[in-house]
Protein backbone atom coordinates (compact mmCIF):
# COMPACT_ATOMS: atom_id res chain seq x y z
CA UNK A 1 0.00 0.00 0.00
CA UNK A 2 1.13 3.54 -0.72
CA UNK A 3 1.85 6.15 1.86
CA UNK A 4 -1.32 7.57 3.42
CA UNK A 5 -2.25 11.15 2.59
CA UNK A 6 -2.27 13.80 5.27
CA UNK A 7 -3.81 17.23 5.70
CA UNK A 8 -2.55 20.40 7.35
CA UNK A 9 -3.45 24.06 7.71
CA UNK A 10 -1.27 27.10 7.25
CA UNK A 11 -2.37 30.61 8.22
CA UNK A 12 -0.87 33.88 6.95
CA UNK A 13 -2.01 36.40 9.53
CA UNK A 14 -0.84 39.52 7.66
CA UNK A 15 -3.13 40.47 4.78
CA UNK A 16 -0.36 42.18 2.82
CA UNK A 17 1.95 39.21 3.25
CA UNK A 18 -0.84 36.85 2.15
CA UNK A 19 -1.05 38.59 -1.22
CA UNK A 20 2.69 38.09 -1.76
CA UNK A 21 2.61 34.46 -0.65
CA UNK A 22 -0.45 33.51 -2.70
CA UNK A 23 0.46 35.53 -5.80
CA UNK A 24 -1.96 36.98 -8.32
CA UNK A 25 -4.85 34.56 -8.83
CA UNK A 26 -3.05 32.17 -6.46
CA UNK A 27 -0.25 31.74 -9.01
CA UNK A 28 2.37 30.98 -6.35
CA UNK A 29 0.21 28.32 -4.73
CA UNK A 30 -0.20 26.59 -8.09
CA UNK A 31 3.61 26.53 -8.52
CA UNK A 32 4.00 24.86 -5.11
CA UNK A 33 1.23 22.36 -5.92
CA UNK A 34 2.85 21.28 -9.17
CA UNK A 35 6.36 21.07 -7.71
CA UNK A 36 5.41 19.01 -4.62
CA UNK A 37 2.31 17.17 -5.89
CA UNK A 38 0.11 18.58 -3.13
CA UNK A 39 -3.28 20.26 -3.13
CA UNK A 40 -3.59 23.74 -1.61
CA UNK A 41 -7.05 25.24 -1.03
CA UNK A 42 -7.17 28.87 0.15
CA UNK A 43 -10.00 30.07 2.37
CA UNK A 44 -9.35 33.67 3.28
CA UNK A 45 -5.84 33.75 4.73
CA UNK A 46 -5.96 30.05 5.68
CA UNK A 47 -4.55 27.39 3.41
CA UNK A 48 -5.64 23.78 3.52
CA UNK A 49 -2.81 21.51 2.33
CA UNK A 50 -3.18 17.82 1.49
CA UNK A 51 -0.80 15.25 0.06
CA UNK A 52 1.86 12.79 1.13
CA UNK A 53 3.30 13.70 4.58
CA UNK A 54 6.80 14.56 3.31
CA UNK A 55 5.42 16.76 0.54
CA UNK A 56 3.03 18.55 2.92
CA UNK A 57 5.90 19.20 5.33
CA UNK A 58 7.96 20.71 2.50
CA UNK A 59 5.04 22.85 1.38
CA UNK A 60 4.67 24.27 4.90
CA UNK A 61 8.39 25.06 5.05
CA UNK A 62 8.20 26.84 1.69
CA UNK A 63 5.14 28.81 2.82
CA UNK A 64 6.89 29.77 6.07
CA UNK A 65 9.89 30.98 4.07
CA UNK A 66 7.73 32.99 1.66
CA UNK A 67 5.73 34.49 4.54
CA UNK A 68 8.91 35.81 6.17
CA UNK A 69 9.92 37.36 2.87
CA UNK A 70 6.46 38.83 2.23
CA UNK A 71 6.37 40.44 5.68
CA UNK A 72 9.45 42.45 4.67
CA UNK A 73 8.22 43.29 1.17
CA UNK A 74 4.80 42.20 -0.04
CA UNK A 75 5.65 41.66 -3.71
CA UNK A 76 7.22 38.26 -4.45
CA UNK A 77 8.05 36.82 -7.85
CA UNK A 78 7.38 33.38 -9.28
CA UNK A 79 11.14 32.90 -9.55
CA UNK A 80 11.50 33.48 -5.81
CA UNK A 81 8.84 30.83 -5.16
CA UNK A 82 10.78 28.36 -7.30
CA UNK A 83 14.00 29.28 -5.51
CA UNK A 84 12.36 28.70 -2.11
CA UNK A 85 11.13 25.30 -3.34
CA UNK A 86 14.60 24.38 -4.57
CA UNK A 87 16.24 25.40 -1.29
CA UNK A 88 13.83 23.27 0.71
CA UNK A 89 14.47 20.29 -1.58
CA UNK A 90 18.26 20.75 -1.35
CA UNK A 91 18.29 21.30 2.40
CA UNK A 92 19.76 24.79 2.10
CA UNK A 93 19.11 27.88 4.18
CA UNK A 94 15.66 29.45 3.70
CA UNK A 95 15.49 32.18 1.08
CA UNK A 96 14.42 34.66 3.77
CA UNK A 97 17.66 33.92 5.68
CA UNK A 98 19.76 34.24 2.51
CA UNK A 99 18.26 37.66 1.88
CA UNK A 100 19.81 38.83 5.14
CA UNK A 101 23.27 37.90 3.84
CA UNK A 102 23.72 41.14 1.90
CA UNK A 103 27.02 41.28 0.05
CA UNK A 104 26.53 44.84 -1.14
CA UNK A 105 23.71 47.22 -2.10
CA UNK A 106 23.78 47.96 -5.83
CA UNK A 107 23.47 51.33 -7.56
CA UNK A 108 19.67 51.01 -7.68
CA UNK A 109 19.45 50.43 -3.93
CA UNK A 110 18.78 46.69 -4.23
CA UNK A 111 20.64 44.25 -1.98
CA UNK A 112 22.85 41.70 -3.70
CA UNK A 113 22.51 38.34 -1.95
CA UNK A 114 23.10 34.67 -2.75
CA UNK A 115 19.98 33.12 -4.29
CA UNK A 116 20.74 29.40 -4.21
CA UNK A 117 22.68 26.78 -2.28
CA UNK A 118 25.48 26.82 -4.85
CA UNK A 119 25.69 30.61 -4.82
CA UNK A 120 25.89 30.63 -1.03
CA UNK A 121 28.72 28.08 -1.15
CA UNK A 122 30.53 30.17 -3.75
CA UNK A 123 30.21 33.42 -1.78
CA UNK A 124 31.31 31.73 1.46
CA UNK A 125 34.32 30.19 -0.31
CA UNK A 126 35.35 33.58 -1.73
CA UNK A 127 35.05 35.21 1.68
CA UNK A 128 37.12 32.55 3.41
CA UNK A 129 39.88 31.78 0.89
CA UNK A 130 42.57 33.67 -0.97
CA UNK A 131 42.02 31.72 -4.22
CA UNK A 132 38.71 30.24 -5.38
CA UNK A 133 37.53 28.66 -8.63
CA UNK A 134 33.84 28.99 -9.53
CA UNK A 135 32.73 26.71 -12.36
CA UNK A 136 29.22 26.60 -13.81
CA UNK A 137 26.95 27.42 -16.75
CA UNK A 138 25.64 30.79 -17.88
CA UNK A 139 23.23 32.53 -15.56
CA UNK A 140 24.48 31.05 -12.29
CA UNK A 141 25.80 34.41 -11.07
CA UNK A 142 29.50 33.53 -11.01
CA UNK A 143 30.79 36.79 -12.45
CA UNK A 144 28.24 39.05 -10.79
CA UNK A 145 28.76 37.57 -7.31
CA UNK A 146 32.54 37.69 -7.73
CA UNK A 147 32.35 41.38 -8.67
CA UNK A 148 29.92 42.11 -5.82
CA UNK A 149 32.24 40.42 -3.31
CA UNK A 150 35.18 42.35 -4.74
CA UNK A 151 33.31 45.65 -4.37
CA UNK A 152 32.49 44.71 -0.76
CA UNK A 153 36.18 44.08 -0.07
CA UNK A 154 37.03 47.46 -1.61
CA UNK A 155 34.39 49.25 0.48
CA UNK A 156 35.68 47.51 3.63
CA UNK A 157 39.24 48.54 2.67
CA UNK A 158 40.33 44.91 2.75
CA UNK A 159 41.98 45.68 -0.61
CA UNK A 160 42.95 48.94 -2.27
CA UNK A 161 42.02 48.10 -5.86
CA UNK A 162 40.12 45.72 -8.12
CA UNK A 163 41.63 44.04 -11.17
CA UNK A 164 39.16 42.36 -13.53
CA UNK A 165 40.38 40.44 -16.56
CA UNK A 166 39.27 38.11 -19.34
CA UNK A 167 41.01 36.35 -22.21
CA UNK A 168 40.24 38.13 -25.49
CA UNK A 169 38.78 35.13 -27.32
CA UNK A 170 35.94 35.42 -29.81
CA UNK A 171 32.90 33.34 -28.86
CA UNK A 172 32.38 31.29 -31.99
CA UNK A 173 32.30 34.19 -34.44
CA UNK A 174 34.87 36.34 -36.20
CA UNK A 175 34.57 40.00 -35.32
CA UNK A 176 37.05 41.13 -37.94
CA UNK A 177 38.76 44.52 -37.80
CA UNK A 178 37.72 46.69 -34.88
CA UNK A 179 38.24 50.47 -35.15
CA UNK A 180 39.74 52.67 -32.45
CA UNK A 181 42.74 52.60 -30.16
CA UNK A 182 43.91 49.50 -28.27
CA UNK A 183 41.53 49.99 -25.35
CA UNK A 184 38.57 50.44 -27.68
CA UNK A 185 39.53 47.26 -29.52
CA UNK A 186 39.55 45.11 -26.37
CA UNK A 187 36.58 46.70 -24.57
CA UNK A 188 33.97 44.53 -26.36
CA UNK A 189 35.58 41.44 -24.85
CA UNK A 190 35.38 43.01 -21.37
CA UNK A 191 31.81 44.31 -21.62
CA UNK A 192 30.28 41.73 -19.19
CA UNK A 193 32.69 42.90 -16.48
CA UNK A 194 31.77 46.54 -17.09
CA UNK A 195 28.06 45.60 -16.99
CA UNK A 196 28.45 44.04 -13.54
CA UNK A 197 30.46 47.00 -12.24
CA UNK A 198 27.96 49.55 -13.59
CA UNK A 199 25.03 47.67 -12.03
CA UNK A 200 26.69 47.46 -8.63
CA UNK A 201 28.50 50.81 -8.39
CA UNK A 202 26.81 53.00 -10.99
CA UNK A 203 28.34 54.40 -14.18
CA UNK A 204 29.81 57.61 -12.73
CA UNK A 205 31.51 55.95 -9.76
CA UNK A 206 33.00 53.27 -12.01
CA UNK A 207 34.39 55.97 -14.30
CA UNK A 208 35.97 57.79 -11.34
CA UNK A 209 37.53 54.57 -10.05
CA UNK A 210 38.85 53.71 -13.51
CA UNK A 211 40.42 57.16 -13.88
CA UNK A 212 42.07 56.91 -10.45
CA UNK A 213 43.30 53.35 -11.06
CA UNK A 214 41.20 51.94 -8.20
CA UNK A 215 39.54 49.64 -10.75
CA UNK A 216 41.37 48.13 -13.71
CA UNK A 217 39.56 46.16 -16.41
CA UNK A 218 41.98 44.67 -18.91
CA UNK A 219 42.52 41.64 -21.16
CA UNK A 220 44.51 38.77 -19.71
CA UNK A 221 47.57 39.55 -21.83
CA UNK A 222 48.04 42.73 -19.75
CA UNK A 223 48.71 40.63 -16.63
CA UNK A 224 52.01 39.18 -17.83
CA UNK A 225 55.08 40.23 -15.85
CA UNK A 226 53.11 41.88 -13.03
CA UNK A 227 52.77 41.21 -9.30
CA UNK A 228 49.36 42.31 -8.01
CA UNK A 229 49.47 43.25 -4.33
CA UNK A 230 46.67 44.47 -2.06
CA UNK A 231 44.18 43.69 -4.82
CA UNK A 232 41.03 41.67 -5.49
CA UNK A 233 41.63 40.00 -8.85
CA UNK A 234 38.95 38.28 -10.96
CA UNK A 235 39.64 36.16 -14.02
CA UNK A 236 36.38 35.65 -15.93
CA UNK A 237 35.72 33.23 -18.84
CA UNK A 238 38.71 31.22 -17.62
CA UNK A 239 37.75 28.25 -19.80
CA UNK A 240 39.18 30.23 -22.72
CA UNK A 241 42.66 30.47 -21.26
CA UNK A 242 45.45 28.14 -22.28
CA UNK A 243 47.30 26.19 -19.55
CA UNK A 244 50.23 28.59 -19.97
CA UNK A 245 47.98 31.64 -19.53
CA UNK A 246 46.34 30.14 -16.46
CA UNK A 247 49.70 29.43 -14.83
CA UNK A 248 50.84 32.97 -15.67
CA UNK A 249 47.69 34.45 -14.11
CA UNK A 250 47.75 32.39 -10.91
CA UNK A 251 51.35 33.36 -10.26
CA UNK A 252 50.52 37.10 -10.40
CA UNK A 253 49.10 37.02 -6.86
CA UNK A 254 50.97 39.27 -4.45
CA UNK A 255 50.70 39.96 -0.74
CA UNK A 256 47.29 40.82 0.76
CA UNK A 257 45.53 39.83 -2.47
CA UNK A 258 42.59 37.61 -3.29
CA UNK A 259 41.85 35.83 -6.57
CA UNK A 260 38.62 34.47 -8.01
CA UNK A 261 38.59 32.44 -11.22
CA UNK A 262 35.27 31.82 -12.96
CA UNK A 263 34.39 29.86 -16.07
CA UNK A 264 32.10 27.42 -17.85
CA UNK A 265 33.76 24.26 -19.17
CA UNK A 266 30.82 23.66 -21.52
CA UNK A 267 31.59 26.87 -23.46
CA UNK A 268 35.23 26.58 -24.48
CA UNK A 269 35.90 28.78 -27.53
CA UNK A 270 39.50 27.69 -28.08
CA UNK A 271 40.50 25.71 -31.19
CA UNK A 272 39.83 21.97 -30.76
CA UNK A 273 43.54 21.16 -30.51
CA UNK A 274 44.15 23.59 -27.62
CA UNK A 275 43.34 22.42 -24.07
CA UNK A 276 41.49 24.71 -21.68
CA UNK A 277 43.57 26.25 -18.92
CA UNK A 278 40.61 25.94 -16.54
CA UNK A 279 40.29 22.19 -17.08
CA UNK A 280 44.06 21.86 -16.77
CA UNK A 281 44.11 23.85 -13.50
CA UNK A 282 41.43 21.60 -12.06
CA UNK A 283 43.62 18.58 -12.80
CA UNK A 284 46.90 20.12 -11.62
CA UNK A 285 45.51 21.65 -8.42
CA UNK A 286 43.57 18.58 -7.29
CA UNK A 287 44.50 17.75 -3.71
CA UNK A 288 46.03 21.15 -2.93
CA UNK A 289 43.10 22.33 -0.82
CA UNK A 290 42.30 25.20 -3.20
CA UNK A 291 38.48 25.24 -3.38
CA UNK A 292 36.59 24.54 -6.61
CA UNK A 293 32.89 25.43 -6.30
CA UNK A 294 30.60 23.90 -8.91
CA UNK A 295 27.35 25.64 -9.80
CA UNK A 296 24.65 23.94 -11.86
CA UNK A 297 21.41 24.70 -13.67
CA UNK A 298 19.78 24.69 -10.23
CA UNK A 299 21.72 27.91 -9.47
CA UNK A 300 20.51 29.82 -12.54
CA UNK A 301 19.06 33.18 -11.49
CA UNK A 302 18.21 34.62 -14.88
CA UNK A 303 14.81 34.20 -16.48
CA UNK A 304 13.38 30.75 -15.67
CA UNK A 305 13.62 29.81 -19.36
CA UNK A 306 17.44 30.00 -19.15
CA UNK A 307 17.39 26.90 -16.95
CA UNK A 308 15.04 25.19 -19.43
CA UNK A 309 17.43 26.00 -22.29
CA UNK A 310 20.47 24.79 -20.33
CA UNK A 311 18.81 21.50 -19.45
CA UNK A 312 17.74 20.95 -23.06
CA UNK A 313 21.30 21.50 -24.30
CA UNK A 314 22.68 19.20 -21.59
CA UNK A 315 20.29 16.44 -22.67
CA UNK A 316 21.22 16.96 -26.31
CA UNK A 317 24.94 16.81 -25.53
CA UNK A 318 24.39 13.63 -23.53
CA UNK A 319 22.54 12.06 -26.48
CA UNK A 320 25.31 13.10 -28.88
CA UNK A 321 28.00 11.70 -26.58
CA UNK A 322 26.10 8.43 -26.28
CA UNK A 323 25.66 8.27 -30.06
CA UNK A 324 29.40 8.83 -30.57
CA UNK A 325 30.21 6.12 -28.04
CA UNK A 326 27.79 3.69 -29.69
CA UNK A 327 29.25 4.53 -33.10
CA UNK A 328 32.77 3.84 -31.87
CA UNK A 329 31.67 0.53 -30.36
CA UNK A 330 30.15 -0.52 -33.70
CA UNK A 331 33.24 0.45 -35.73
CA UNK A 332 35.51 -1.95 -37.64
CA UNK A 333 36.97 -4.67 -35.47
CA UNK A 334 40.70 -4.70 -34.93
CA UNK A 335 42.45 -6.61 -37.67
CA UNK A 336 39.45 -6.55 -40.05
CA UNK A 337 40.17 -6.21 -43.77
CA UNK A 338 43.90 -5.84 -43.56
CA UNK A 339 46.43 -4.81 -46.08
The model's confidence at residue 75, banded by pLDDT at 50, 70 and 90, is confident
Please report, rounded to a whole number, the percentage of residues in the chain having pLDDT higher than 70: 88
The model's confidence at residue 174, banded by pLDDT at 50, 70 and 90, is very low
Question: Mean of the pLDDT values across residues 81-86?
Answer: 88
Beta strands 215-219 and 161-166: pairing type?
A: parallel
**pLDDT above 80 (res 34):** yes
The larger pLDDT score, comparing residue 259 to residue 312, is at: 259
CA–CA gap between residue 150 and residue 191 (Å, rounded): 17
pLDDT of residue 186: 57
Q: What is the pLDDT of residues 211-238, one digit of tens each?
A: 999 999 988 988 999 999 999 999 999 9
Q: What is the pLDDT of residues 175-200, one digit of tens each?
A: 455 555 555 555 666 888 899 999 99
CA–CA gap between residue 284 and residue 314 (Å, rounded): 26
Question: Contact 15/60 with Cβ under 8 angstroms?
Answer: no
Q: In what order do the strands lie in the sheet with 6-11?
A: 6-11, 46-51, 39-43
Question: Contact 126/219 with Cβ under 8 angstroms?
Answer: no
Query: Which pTM was predicted?
Result: 0.75
pLDDT of residue 336: 45
Of 42-56, 220-234, 251-265, 299-313, which gets the smallest average pLDDT?
A: 299-313
The model's confidence at residue 150, banded by pLDDT at 50, 70 and 90, is very high
The model's confidence at residue 12, banded by pLDDT at 50, 70 and 90, is very high
User: Which helix (DSSP H) or strand (DSSP E) does residue 263 occupy?
Assistant: strand 258-263
**pLDDT above 60 (res 111):** yes
Amino acid sequence: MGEALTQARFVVTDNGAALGVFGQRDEHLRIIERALDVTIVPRGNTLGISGHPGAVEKAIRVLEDLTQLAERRPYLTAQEVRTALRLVSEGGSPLAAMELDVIVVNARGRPVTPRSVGQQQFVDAVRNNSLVFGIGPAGTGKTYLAVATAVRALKDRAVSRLVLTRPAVEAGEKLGFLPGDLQEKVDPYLRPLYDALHDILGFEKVQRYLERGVIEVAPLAYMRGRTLEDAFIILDEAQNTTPEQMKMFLTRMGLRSKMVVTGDLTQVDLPPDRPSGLADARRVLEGTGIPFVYLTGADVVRHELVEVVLRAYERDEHRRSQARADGAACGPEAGGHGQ
